[in-house]
Amino acid sequence: MARLQGKYALITGGTGGIGLETARQFLAEGATVAITGRSEAALSAAGRELGDRALLLQSDAGDIAGQRVLAQQLARHWPRLDVLYANAGDVTHRPLQDWDEAAYDQLMGVNLKGPFFLLQALLPLLANPASVILCGSVSAHIGLPQSSAYAASKAGLLSLARTLSGELWERGIRVNGLSPGPTETAALGKLGLPPEEEAALRDQIRKLVPIGRLGTPLELAKAAVFLASDESSYVVGTELQVDGGVGNL
């Protein structure tokens, strides 16, 4: 199929998991794709998998000045931007008493502040029409222990999907949230927890899912294709939950 034929799409955090699978699906649907990542090695590995059709841009989603640099790089390569998928995220989970200001600021910088200023920097490049997809999380809707800072950052991002849609719709820019539930990716091993606590949390998370399993990156990527495509042209300022029923059942 070619639901994204002729579209230019940027995916932040595209070197693994949901982001990398979304890059695969966007390319399969005809898009011209750029991905970002902090690690040069991870970008190179993703590039080998995606081939020369993908533009690889090293960028830290929490570096605010770097968001302006990223926008300038894209403007040099592309005539416009049709799709932004702000997927990069810090998934750190820890008990309230274990947070310090530096770790909190790092998480908020990547998950909320970074996407806000990236979108600001990309405004001159965004086409009319354009689709912006902000990666939320079902954690914003539930009371999962140790998710306090993470869930708050995602709740803020989902709020931006509404408020920025209200601000930008006259420019033809749709902003929507895409909220994964528990998904089988390497990110589950990067929560910053001791091994025994991570294993216990994994089991707890799996039990949260009414349908009894974790999601897959492909299931999230297919939802991102829909939100990026013209098929979702009447979907504005809302949230698509792909979570196995966690947030609603």
* DSSP track, 26-49: HHHTT-EEEEEES-HHHHHHHHHH
Q: Read off the pLDDT band of 186 (50, 70, 90).
A: confident
Establish if 1 belongs to a structural domain: no
Confidence at residue 103, expressed as pLDDT on a 0 to 100 scale: 98
Instruction: For the chain, give the longest Cα–Cα distance.
Output: 51
Over pLDDT 90: what percentage of the chain?
86
| pLDDT above 70 (res 235) | yes
Which CATH number fits the domain that encloses residue 186?
3.40.50.720
Confidence at residue 191, expressed as pLDDT on a 0 to 100 scale: 62
User: From CA 169, how far away is CA 172, in angstroms rounded?
Assistant: 5
Establish if 249 belongs to a structural domain: no
CA distances to 31, 45, 57, 81, 83 from 6, in Å: 6, 26, 20, 11, 11
Nearest Cα to Cα of residue 85 among 22, 163, 167, 15: 22
pLDDT average, residue stretch 64-78? 97
Establish if 37 belongs to a structural domain: yes
pLDDT average, residue stretch 64-87? 98
| pLDDT above 80 (res 128) | yes
Backbone dihedral region for residue 212 (phi beyond 0: left; psi -120 to 50: alpha; all else: beta): left
- 194 prior amide bond cis, ω within 30: no
CB-side neighbour CA atoms (13 Å) of 195: 0
How many domains is the chain built from?
Answer: 1
Establish if 152 belongs to a structural domain: yes
| Catalytic status, residue 150 | yes
Q: SS3 for 224?
A: helix
pLDDT average, residue stretch 170-192? 85
* Domain extent at residue 173: 8-242
At 39, the amino acid letter reads S
pLDDT average, residue stretch 168-174? 98
Over pLDDT 70: what percentage of the chain?
97
Confidence at residue 189, expressed as pLDDT on a 0 to 100 scale: 65
| pLDDT above 80 (res 229) | yes
Confidence at residue 174, expressed as pLDDT on a 0 to 100 scale: 98
pLDDT average, residue stretch 191-209? 78
Catalytic residue, candidates 8, 85, 104, 150: 150
Nearest Cα to Cα of residue 163 among 238, 228, 108, 226: 238
- Enumerate residues 6+ apart whose C-beta is below 8 A from 164: 119, 132, 173, 175
Establish if 122 belongs to a structural domain: yes
| pLDDT above 70 (res 192) | no
pLDDT average, residue stretch 117-137? 98
- pTM of structure: 0.94
DSSP 237: S
CA distances to 21, 213, 237, 246 from 138, in Å: 20, 15, 17, 7
CA distances to 40, 145, 170 from 114, in Å: 19, 25, 24
